[in-house]
Structure 1
Amino acid sequence: MAVDFIGGASSQLQNTVVQQSALGQEEFLRILLAQLQFQDPLKPLDNQEFLAQMAQFSSLAQTSQINERIDTLLTIQATTQSIGLIGKTVEVQTTSLPAVGTVTSLAFSEGQPNLTIRTADGELLTGIRLSQVSVVR
């Protein structure tokens, strides 16, 4: 899940790393199973090698859990950031021009915070993502 932050930074890169870790874990299991299937019955896998591989697998599983927890923390941080913007004047990048206004409300769509901003001329801008906020005044 990509989490937006003020100024356009996002966790897309982190998601790529998480996907690569998951792929690495699947590949590791395939290699381990193939190794066990095709081992020479007269020369079974050495216990130390097997334990080392199991330790690597355990490390991969723990890394995946850490990545999930970091994702949760990023979501909480984005929520906290967006709540802190209510009542503040912000400059946002819209499809046409940058706009300046006051954040009046906050809604969540697909787990992502979306801001509603009232400009000086009374226009309401809805569905503004945190990544669109360039300046907080």
Structure 2
Amino acid sequence: MTVMSVSDVYSQASTPQTQDNSVMGKEDFLTLLVAQLQHQDPLNPSESTEFTAQLAQFSSLEQLQNIDATLNGFEVYQSTLNNIESSGFIGKTVTAAGSMIAVNDGTPDPIRFDLANGAESVYVQVYDGYGDFVTDIQAGALPAGEQQMAWDGEDSTGAVVEDGIYTFTVMAMNTNGDVVHSTSYTTGTVTGIDYKSGATKLLMNDREIPISSVIRIEETPSEENSQS
């Protein structure tokens, strides 16, 4: 179901709906029924059973159109409700599918990924916002499951990188030299919600995360708890 913004819902309610003339509606059906009655042969009128069947068809058509209108209204209502509820993500720490990490005040986000199977050797390569290589991290052997690695925020020459958004890739191999499948995650604190594209997106500093990619929502730890 398409997620709509609150403003889209109000604009849809105030915008005149155009009628699709290629589909017969109940008014067209009633017009044909009246025309049939007007032009029937008085000496050989339509049988009552046939007329009753046509009236039943008209009634069914009207009921179906009413049901369709009700479902459309429910969809708009559900979209509005989803958008309002998504505001509850603000201030929460969210983990979503993706390979972006942020560096703020010289401190990088943790690098998180999931290994389908145990790996003998795991390498993580970090790239800047332009796709240029920054550094690689050797993690050694890791078991299957969710992993978290720390990056010291330095490039391959030992220089401290600038604050910004970076991406990473994971390369993992087992003892036979076969590639081990991995899934990358991005984590951050939600600072806002964006509806303008028609799909709800969570804002995490300079990152936009589709709400459909979220796999975990947690309370953001306070500074006191993080220092203790």
Task: State the 1:28 CA deviation.
Answer: 7.9
Residue 50 (str. 1) matches residue 15 (str. 2): no
Larger Rg: 2
Task: Trace 1:103-118 onto structure 2 (pairs within 5 A).
Answer: 103-118=190-205
Structure 1-normalised TM-score? 0.61
Letter in 2 for 1:125: R
Partner in structure 2 of residue 3 of structure 1: 3
1:101 counterpart SS class: strand
Letter in 1 for 2:76: T
2:191 counterpart SS class: strand
Unaligned runs of 5+ in 2: 5-22, 100-168, 170-183, 219-228
Partner in structure 1 of residue 188 of structure 2: 101
Partner Cα separation in structure 1 for residue 98 and residue 24 of structure 2: 43
1:49 counterpart SS class: helix
Q: 8 Å contact 1:78–1:113 — kept in the other structure?
A: no
Residue 136 (str. 1) matches residue 223 (str. 2): no
**How many residue pairs get matched?**
109
Letter in 2 for 1:104: T
Q: 8 Å contact 2:2–2:198 — kept in the other structure?
A: no
1:109 counterpart SS class: coil
Q: 8 Å contact 2:98–2:185 — kept in the other structure?
A: yes
Q: 8 Å contact 2:92–2:190 — kept in the other structure?
A: yes
Partner in structure 2 of residue 16 of structure 1: none
Q: Supply the RMSD in Å over aligned alpha carbons.
A: 3.3
Q: 8 Å contact 1:91–1:101 — kept in the other structure?
A: yes
Q: Per-residue displacement from partner, 1:67-100 (whole Å, max 9, x unpaired)?
A: 2112112211221231110111111112672111
Q: Percentage identity across aligned positions?
A: 23
Letter in 1 for 2:198: G
Pick from 84, 87, 92 the counterpart of residue 83 of structure 1: 87
Unaligned runs of 5+ in 1: 5-25, 119-123
Partner Cα separation in structure 2 for residue 110 and residue 27 of structure 1: 34
Partner Cα separation in structure 1 for residue 59 and residue 187 of structure 2: 54
Task: State the 1:111 CA deviation.
Answer: 3.5
Partner Cα separation in structure 2 for residue 51 and residue 93 of structure 1: 55
Structure 2-normalised TM-score? 0.39
Higher strand residue share: 2
Task: State the 1:105 CA deviation.
Answer: 1.0
Partner Cα separation in structure 2 for residue 100 and residue 113 of structure 1: 17
Residue 125 (str. 1) matches residue 207 (str. 2): yes
